[in-house]
Amino acid sequence: MTISSPRLACAAVSAATALTLAACGETPSPSPSTASPAELAAARAAASEHAGRLVDGGEDELKRRLKTLRGLPVVVNQWASWCPPCRYEFPFLRRLAKHLEGRVAFLGVNARDGVGAAASFLRSQPTPFAHVYDRDADAARAIGGGRSWPTTAFYDATGRRIFVMQGAYPTQEKLLEAIEQHAVGRPLDRSPR
């Protein structure tokens, strides 16, 4: 029996497509923390350093902060005060950062925004985490963002970036589910602390 060329070509394309989707379509699983108790305590202390304030330094400061937070899963949110979807999503981040304090670290990246406007926004929306000021969006690009606002990147406890979401989360519940899936790797205790 002979297989015609169109059938063979179709089968080859189907197989190649399936292999491509299988290889590229999966998100890596978060790795658990291997930090010592002292390293974990240092990461927890670093998580609230400069809470609610802009910190200058762009990409270098972002990398420094991510390094000091190793041992904890980290949620990094790129935002700007002029961005309506960022403003919509911001209360979710504030509440979850407070609720997950000590278990998950949060870090903001304020990109392509005016310092005065960003500082004013933070005064009206105080957070329990710091925000790296990123004038040229270099830090935003380092987390996989810089193309759309907001962008949220999820890092596991070893400091490995697991997933990047372009755009706002529609609900706080969806953001929490993403944190559990991409940063922590398991369901979190959702009871009030």
The residue ranking higher by pLDDT, 30 or 170, is 170
For the chain, percent of residues with pLDDT exceeding 70: 85
Q: Mean per-residue pLDDT for 156-171?
A: 97
Q: Mean per-residue pLDDT for 91-99?
A: 97
- Rounded to the nearest integer, the mean pLDDT of the chain is 87
CA angle 178/182/187 to nearest 5° reads 70
Residue range 36-184 in CATH 3.40.50.2000: no
pTM of the model: 0.82
**Confidence at 16, pLDDT banded by 50, 70, 90:** very low
Q: Give the pLDDT confidence score for residue 193 in this predicted structure.
A: 63
How many CB atoms are closer than 10 A to CB 63? 15
* pLDDT tens-digit map of 18-54: 333 333 445 687 877 777 788 877 888 888 889 999 9
Kindly give, in sequence order, each residue whose CB lies less than 8 Å from that of residue 166, ignoring residues fewer than 6 positions away. 145, 147, 148, 151
For the chain, percent of residues with pLDDT exceeding 90: 72
Q: Give the pLDDT confidence score for residue 37 in this predicted structure.
A: 80
**Confidence at 159, pLDDT banded by 50, 70, 90:** very high
Q: Give the pLDDT confidence score for residue 2 in this predicted structure.
A: 47
* pLDDT tens-digit map of 56-89: 999 999 999 999 999 999 999 999 999 999 999 9
pLDDT above 60 (res 130):
yes
Residue extents of the structural domains in the chain = 36-184
How many CB atoms are closer than 10 A to CB 15? 10
Helix axes 37-47, 58-68, angle to 10 degrees: 140
